[in-house]
Amino acid sequence: MNPSQEEFLQKLIETPGVSNYEENVQSLWRDAVKPYTDSIEITPHGNNIATLNGTDDISVMIVGHADEIGLIVRYINSDGFIYVSRVGGVDPAILPSHRVRILSSKTDGIVTGVVGRTAPHQTRDDSGGKKITYSDVWIDIGATNKEEAEKYVNIGDVVIYGEGYQRLIDTRATARCFDNRIGIYIVAEVMKNLHARKNELKATVYGVSSIQEETGVWGAGQAGYHLNPTLAVALDVTPSTDSPGISKELWGQVDVSKGAVISRGIRNNRKISDLMTKTAVDKKIPYQIEVDNGHTSTDADPISQVRSGIPIAVLSPATRYLHSSVEVLDLNDLDHCVNLLTEFILSLKGGMNFRN
């Protein structure tokens, strides 16, 4: 990954984009891909579709989702403390002691707060290991009462928790929302690569930055129905199994820094997975295999179900600590995903059959 690519990735990471509030992320993504595409379309719910035309009667949709998990304001009590619900899969147990940013509709800006919980000095040790729920935590913006808090925050405002992008040792990095700014980063970089090698391109390519994956995995299905491509590849992150306490007997082995992760199994189309694996071998691109048991839990799922069924596959970098504020991955794995998907698409040509 070169410095300009890393700068683009960091901008994607540090732009807030909770489900249904993806527009600033989408604008950034559109500006990045526009010079490398033949057209860009925005669908009614906010999916962004960048098209690069090929020469043969075959098309491929490559898609990552722009949204991230977060919180939404549901109640402000008389003392000005703010209670929230989740947007996507947020474990309330990880929230205490986080600083948060409320995307305020009152101020059209950011209101800073902290997630509070009763201090251990003031609780008796009789919880019996009680699981933390959303009623056990709140956001404190420094307001003295409900009326003051309501000058800054509305019911229904969304909240971002966790910090932005930061390098760790060597090529590893951490951020709050690699899931799934990584996917739309890969789509953008692949579109750039294909534009540079357009004389080799046979397939028409639809690069999609989708919406609301984290709140029901549904936005990409609309784009799939609209485009009706020959095949589709979803780009997402996948949980690694190389940190303590994870059973490889149960979850398999997928490691950070060991290459792009190709999914095989029940939902993934066998012919696509096999061709992607062959491409990785032929081009000497490091790769690993993970298994789906009938659901990929990615944008591939709704795409596979529209019209008469669109053949799908999933490609991912292995990532630690998903749906936390400290997700960890290796930037080299992103390069492997970009290179593999580029070469895979360049291998597509008219007449290929992806029906099982």
Among 68, 213, 290, 327, the active-site one is 213
213 labelled catalytic: yes
Q: How many CA atoms lie within 13 A of 85 on its CB side?
A: 7
Amino acid at 303: I
Backbone angles phi, psi at 312, to 5 degrees: -130, 165
Residue carrying structure tokens 């109640």: 75
Backbone CA torsion sign across 23, 26, 32, 38: negative
90 contacts 160 by C-beta, under 8 angstroms: no
339 contacts 284 by C-beta, under 8 angstroms: no
75 contacts 155 by C-beta, under 8 angstroms: yes
Element at 220 (helix H, strand E): helix 219-227
d(CA 212, CA 349): 32
So which residues are the catalytic ones? 213
